[in-house]
Amino acid sequence: MIDRPVSPTSDISLLLRAHAEQRWLSHEVLPVLRQLEQRDCLPEEQLGAALAYLEVLWIEASQRAAETDAAYSELQGSSLYAEPPLYGKARSYHGAVVRLREAIARHVVQLVAPPSEERSEDRASSC
């Protein structure tokens, strides 16, 4: 087994990363997602721009998720040596953020996926 240096603050690092990701999802991605879900009758040119913006936000959210998950991995590695003081809280917060991320991802995928014939007909009939 290779000994690697473990940060004594891995629990705090995860808490900060998870908090930053949660704020990004809640304050940046969710408002755009809600607007897109409530505006089925947007003119096509506005809808395209809004979807493109959502995609850019989602790319940033994915990068933040990778950073959060890396901090989680570091915490998992540090727990092999000694459990950091905020280990349980950090793991719990990470789990909550992952669930939020997954819920938002389902909605984002539905909006940015190419429309099927059925979805196109539903949108046209609702306007």
Question: Are 64 and 21 spatial neighbours (Cβ–Cβ below 8 Å)?
Answer: yes
Q: Measure the CA angle with vertex 99, ends 51 and 110; round to 5°.
A: 30
| This prediction's pTM | 0.77
More confident residue, 117 or 83: 83
Query: Is residue 2 assigned to a domain?
Result: no
How far is Cα 93 from Cα 23, in angstroms, rounded to an integer?
13
**Within a domain: 107:** yes
What domain range includes position 70?
11-126
Is residue 87 situated within a structural domain?
Answer: yes
pLDDT of residue 75: 86
- HEC string of 47-59 equals HHHHHHHHHHHHH
The answer to whether position 5 is within a domain reads no
Per-residue confidence (pLDDT) for residue 9, from 0 to 100: 83
What single-letter DSSP state applies at residue 113?
S
The confidence score (pLDDT) of residue 41 equals 64
Gap between the Cα atoms of 41 and 25, Å rounded: 25
In a domain, 95, yes or no: yes
85 within some domain: yes
Report pLDDT digits (tens) over 44-90.
788 888 899 999 999 999 999 999 999 999 888 876 666 667 888 99
- The count of structural domains within the chain is 1
Q: If you average pLDDT over every residue of the chain, what do you get?
A: 83
Tokens standing for residue 30:
């969710």
The torsion angle over the Cα atoms of residues 90, 93, 99 and 100, rounded to 10 degrees, is -130
